[in-house]
Structure 1
Amino acid sequence: MSWKPEIDHLRAREALAEKMGGDERVSRQKSQGKLTARDRVDALLDPGSFHEIGKIAGVADYAADGSLASFTPSNMITGRGRIEGRPVGVIADDFTVRGGAADAAIWQKMVQAEKFAGEYRMPLIRMVDGTGGGGSVKMLEKDPRTYIPETPGWEVVVANLGQIPVVSLALGPCAGLGAGRVAASHYSVMVKGLSQVFVAGPPVARAIGEDIDKEGLGGWEIQARNGVVDDAVDSELEAMAMARRFLSYVPGSVDDLPARLPSRDPIDRKEEFLVSIVPRDRVTPYKSRRIVEACVDAGSFFEMGKAWGRSIITGFARLDGWPVAIMAGDPYVLDGAWTADAARKVERFVDLANTFHLPIVHFVDCPGFAVGRKHEQAGVTRAGIRAMSAIYQARVPFCAVVMRKAYGLAGSAMFNPSRAKARFCWPSGDWGSLPMDGGVEAAFRRELESHPDPATRLAEIKAWMEGLRSPFRTAESFYAEEIIDPRDTRPLLCEWAGLARRVLQTGPVSTHMRP
């Protein structure tokens, strides 16, 4: 006796699941310039590697004789596959079935996918295109009662942030639980003009007196600039490419170390322009991204969070093939001062690097925390101290390259100075507890007021102080461990990256990243 009739029935149900929300809704999805959930899975993963789980889960209607009359699949596709040969978990919302509403997704599928990725130690990619967790008001017709809200499986979502890399791609309107799933990740990307992220959509906003459309409420220009998402790109395929690139720098889980890749870039490469890129006048900005790119393996710098907290640059790169995390002050934005947003960006990024065992290279140019009423109202002090705490708590090695300014509390947070210092200072280094510029007149006010030639005396004082601020005087007392030729930065960093690898430890950390 054969089970072939049941296998045929299984194949028929699978075929129904592949129709998703039906031809009309699939056509509507494509007419909006969006890929379907199944197209997205195919585009993301290595060809032929997807193994779907729960394909025939959904809502079925049966005829009087017990035969299947109709079937609507769950609007969440889950399973596992491979990216560059590495196993990954996948969750893809299907907007063609009730707009991706979570109450049509069968919540156990999402929880199972999250659990499987976490327990089997593989990265998880969520492709989010759906609404909130409670469905719509229309659901009250089927279930005539309200409920005290819970979010089943959220403890798994939180736990995964300390165990495996989690990437979220916002590929349509993401409201409520959808927005939460985007934010609860290590790396998130929106597609410009196609995706929006918000707690609740325009109809709910209108109920509180705001007449606004989806883009104005939660478009990329809002969410990429406030740090809710890390990046925004022009197409779904570009978002998937960003996800793949992010994953190339991190291990499959905290139980592994990031992989080294072959590098054809000589470690002794020295860029001549580095000796003159920092202006002598201390106020003219320069392009610190150009410095980063000159020092890391060619083409390896992957910047994250470019649109927010812009006085600090963050991203991943490679040094002699070793993956590292990069921070760099940007003097084009508030002279590199840490705003509240920049400090939050630092805290989140350091926690990310610490969670996945990535050594951190900090290219330092920081005049301190941002000063002024606006920044105080934004909570710069608490945000800054949280960033400093993250740096002091991190157990991964830090290496600082002091390009120019290092002042005050923020300037002191180039690494945890209680540990062995790996630091290379350029001759352009300028540091102290407070900037000297602008403070001379106040400090010597009485002397200048009583002097017969105040202008000449002020010039003498400034010349004297200029000599004191020489980085060579700092090095005399070993407060600066090394003054280096900027052109030697890459070779020294490549050597350091190899040394840092020796002390990296696997396993979960006590202060892993939170959203």
Structure 2
Amino acid sequence: MPEPAPPSTAQSAKDRLAQVSAHVSPPAANTPKKRRRRTSNQSDLPADYSDILNQLEKLRTIAATPDPKNRGYVRQKQAGKLWVRERVDQLLDAGTFREVGSVSGTVTWKHLGGTKEEPIDYVPSNNVQGFGKLGGRNIVFTADDFTIRAGHADGALAEKTMYMEKLSYTMKLPIVKLVDGSSGGGSVSTIKKEGFSYIPPMSTFPWVVKQLNAGIPNLGAVVGPAIGLGAARVTVCHFSVMAADVGSLFNAGPQVVAGATFEEGLSFTDLGGPAVHCTNGTIDNLAADESECFSQLRTVLSYLPSSGDSLPPVTPSSDPVDRTSPELRSIIPRKPERMYDPRKVITTVVDAGSFFEIGALWGTTAITGLARLGGRPVGIISLNCEINAGALDAFGSQKLTRHLKFLDIFNIPLLQFVDVPGYAIGTVAERTATMRHGVNLAVAYFSTTMPVFSVVTRRVYGVAGGIMLDCREPRCRIAWPSGNWGSLPLKGGVEVGHAHELSQIRKEKGEEARKERLRQLNEEYERLMNPVRTANAFGVEQIVDPAHTRGIVAEWVRHVYEVLLPVRVMERVSGKLQPSFA
């Protein structure tokens, strides 16, 4: 049979066009539609996820609304304490709070059928934390909620706290801790809840140590009873402050103490109130109330960089750096037995209103703090001649050691006003291990590397004086005309140095002759102690008019910030310089 003729090209094109048209044209009106079988009930849920958003909003509203019938909330208010979210509002700059873990906690759900459910009851995690700004600076923070299980651990708190510690370190953001309770520490009831006992974990502390040594500000406030882990979390901070009206701190509460040591009837304040821990160095500063705690945290942060990889923040100053202070010429009495106000010296030299004292109630033979010169932050150290004549005791040495590490970790240069008769002496000094802590101070002076400038206002004696002034090479220091120095003070020192001669005179010529010779020796030594003679031998680099101290020191600080600190920061970043606080 003959084969059929192939279709023409025109016919093929028409067939293809018809086929395409059938695909794209709408079906006829009478063509029945095929119904798609519902495969799931997910299509009942709103496409904009408003159901999930509404659940979140409801939980957040419950968490942000205090329950006046809740016994924990009632107890908080009766104690005169702020609620946790009131604290956050007072601490942070207005409108900057961004919560992390805002719906963590225990929720009771009501099943509505299918996959639908709604929360009907919610107990938030007993810690509020997140991001915010403090004095215009970005920070992370944690704030305990004592109204819920007195701040003891719940299912989410440990993870939340660990997360914030990690964020602080990795993002190089200062962290602020408002401690009221155990900060997630354990409770006996936790054993019943979990069904087993456990070895106490300390998973957050490696991150805390990293923060401390990286120079990331770690600041804490005691705004209630800080117990166990809560006490540890605030004590380890670079800076801590306690509210005098509501704050206390202890390893275990009065009931546990009564069972262990038989000390009964103790209140929180008796056991670990401000009179205990603001005077022994556990807590740095005392504040009148919670509001002042927040103010002090804000002030301290204003002096500090966000990490050791940056410079301290410089602020404008209206106080002229070349301002002279004639009153300093007569502030040091000519009679060595008389005292003067060392804080007056500090506040006269630094920018007006910039001195912030740290640790005023403990280690009172020493004065430490922060200030500014030309708007640039500096650390301050001074001896306090009004307490124990300025002799460094054990507490004073511990205080200075801590402050030196604090300044070193934050790249803050040190300005010190030196008037030290030496280490404290006597039986109390020996029993309190003054030399042990004094040697630790020497190690701190010689192991830290921040720039140091010394102003010798009066006495420099013994090992204590030597370590303070010889801790940097070359030395940057000046002396006032009131300078007086040596291995030992003349009073008592002359008799020791000439003991044999004076003893012989008494044996041969009597007591009156001995006294006369002692008077002659004292007069001779006092003449030789003229500080100008030391300057003649270049034993002191420069004796200056006290009135010009501010200008001299401010110029040194300017040079440090413009030339030395940028190099120091690069060495920190490269790992060449690794100061240690903890």
Give the TM-score of the pair, scaled to structure 2.
0.86
Q: Deviations over 1:149-197 (max 9, x none)?
A: 2212211111111220011000000010000011010110001130101
Say which of 216, 220, 224 aligns to 1:172: 224
Check conservation: 1:392, 1:415, Cα contact below 8 A: no
Give 1:449 deviation, angstroms.
3.5
Separation (CA, whole Å) in 1 of partners of 2:344 and 2:185 = 48
Which residue number in structure 2 is paired with residue 454 of structure 1? 514
Match of 1:36 among 66, 69, 83: 83
Residues 99-108 or 484-493, more deviating: 99-108
1:216 aligns with 2:270: yes
1:500 matches 2:560 = yes
| Partners of 1:228 and 1:91 in 2: CA distance | 20
Bigger relative contact order, structure 1 or 2, given CA contacts below 8 A and separation 6+?
1
- Of residues 468, 473, 479, the one that matches 2:528 is 468
CA contact (8 A) 1:98 1:104 kept: no
Cross-structure match for 1:186: 238
| 3-state secondary structure, aligned to 2:281 | coil
Residue 125 of structure 2 is aligned to residue 74 of structure 1 = yes
Query: Is 1:423 the equivalent of 2:470?
Result: no
Task: Tell me the residue number matched to 2:397.
Answer: 343
- Once the two structures are TM-superposed, the CA of residue 85 in structure 1 deviates from its matched residue by 1.9
**Does 2:57 match 1:11?**
yes
CA contact (8 A) 2:151 2:184 kept: no
Q: After the TM superposition, which parts of structure 1 deviate over 6 Å for at least 4 consecutive aligned residues?
A: none
Give the drift of 1:73. Answer: 0.5
- What amino acid is aligned across from residue 294 of structure 1 in structure 2? T
Q: Which amino acid is 1:76 matched to?
A: N
SS at match of 1:315: strand
Q: How far apart in 1 are the matches of 2:504 and 2:449?
A: 54
CA contact (8 A) 2:181 2:224 kept: yes
Q: Deviation of residue 132 (structure 1)?
A: 6.1
Considering fraction of residues, name the structure with more helix: 2
How far apart in 1 are the matches of 2:373 and 2:398?
A: 26
- Tell me by how many angstroms 1:442 deviates: 2.9
Is 1:106–2:166 an aligned residue pair? no
Tell me how far 1:511 sits from its aligned partner.
Answer: 3.2
Match of 2:580 in 1: 512
3-state DSSP of counterpart to 1:68:
strand
Two-structure CA RMSD over aligned residues (Å): 1.6
Deviation at 1:436, TM superposition (A): 1.9
In structure 1, the partner of 2:100 is: 53
Q: Distance in 2 between matches of 1:338 and 1:41?
A: 40
* Aligned with 2:283 (options 223, 226, 229): 229
Q: Find the aligned partners of 1:128 and 1:297 in 2 and give their Cα distance.
A: 33
Structure 2: which amino acid aligns with 1:433? S
Are the equivalent residues in 1 in contact too, given 2:452–2:472 (CA < 8 A)? Answer: no
Q: Which has the larger radius of gyration?
A: 2
Aligned residue for 2:326?
272
Q: Judge conservation of contact 1:75–1:104 (CA < 8 Å) in 2.
A: no
- Residues paired across the two proteins, number: 514
One-letter amino acid matched to 1:46 = D
Contact 1:193–1:219 under 8 Å retained in 2: no
* Contact persistence 1:103–1:134 (CA under 8 A): no
Deviates more, 1:1-10 or 1:345-354: 1-10
Cα distance in 2 for residues equivalent to 1:381 and 1:79: 45
Amino acid at match of 1:57: S
* Cα distance change, pair 417–472 in 1 and its aligned pair in 2 (3 A): farther
Percentage identity across paired residues of the two chains: 37
Matched residues in 2 for 1:422 and 1:70: separation? 66
Structure-1 separation of matches of 2:451 and 2:399: 19
Task: Tell me, yes or no, if the aligned pair for 1:21 and 1:72 is still in contact at 8 Å.
Answer: no
Q: How does 1:71-150 map to 2 (within 5 A)?
A: 71-103=122-154, 106-131=157-182, 133-150=184-201
Counterpart CA distance in 1 for 2:494 and 2:470 is 31
Query: How far does residue 145 in structure 1 lie from its aligned partner after superposition?
Result: 2.5
The answer to whether the Cα contact below 8 Å between 1:131 and 1:178 also exists between their aligned partners in 2 is yes
* 1:321–1:426 Cα change, 3 Å: same
Question: Which of these residues, 311, 331, 341, is aligned with residue 257 of structure 1?
Answer: 311
470-479 or 311-320: bigger deviation: 470-479
SS in 1 for 2:181: coil
Shift of 1:67: 3.9
- Deviation of residue 142 (structure 1)? 2.0
From 513, 525, 546, the counterpart of 1:486? 546
TM-score, length-scaled by structure 1: 0.97
Aligned to 2:33: none
Cα distance in 2 between the residues matched to 1:478 and 1:248: 40
Contact 2:419/2:456, CA 8 A, preserved across alignment: yes
Greater alpha carbon shift after TM alignment, 126-135 vs 188-197: 126-135
What amino acid is the match of 2:564? V
Q: 1:68-116: per-residue Cα shift (whole Å, max 9, x none)?
A: 3321110111101112221011111011111111346520100111111
Q: Cα distance 1:39–1:296, how it changes in 2: closer, same or farther (>3 A)?
A: same
Supply the distance in 2 between the matched residues of 1:200 and 1:421 (Cα, whole angstroms).
Answer: 48
Q: Distance in 2 between matches of 1:327 and 1:430?
A: 19
Q: Whole-Å Cα distance in 1 between the matches of residues 479 and 327 of structure 2? A: 17
Please, which moves more after superposition, 215-224 or 81-90? 81-90
Q: Hey, what does 2:9 align to over in structure 1?
A: none
Query: Which sits farther off after the overlay, 349-358 or 139-148?
Result: 139-148
Q: Please state how far the C-alpha of 1:326 moved relative to its aligned partner.
A: 0.2
- Judge conservation of contact 1:20–1:94 (CA < 8 Å) in 2: no
Q: Deviations over 1:345-398 (max 9, x none)?
A: 111100000000000001001111111222222121121111111111111110
Kindly state the Cα deviation for residue 203 of structure 1 after the two structures are TM-superposed.
0.7
Task: Establish whether residue 202 from structure 1 lines up as the match of residue 254 from structure 2.
Answer: yes
The Cα shift of 1:22 comes to: 6.2
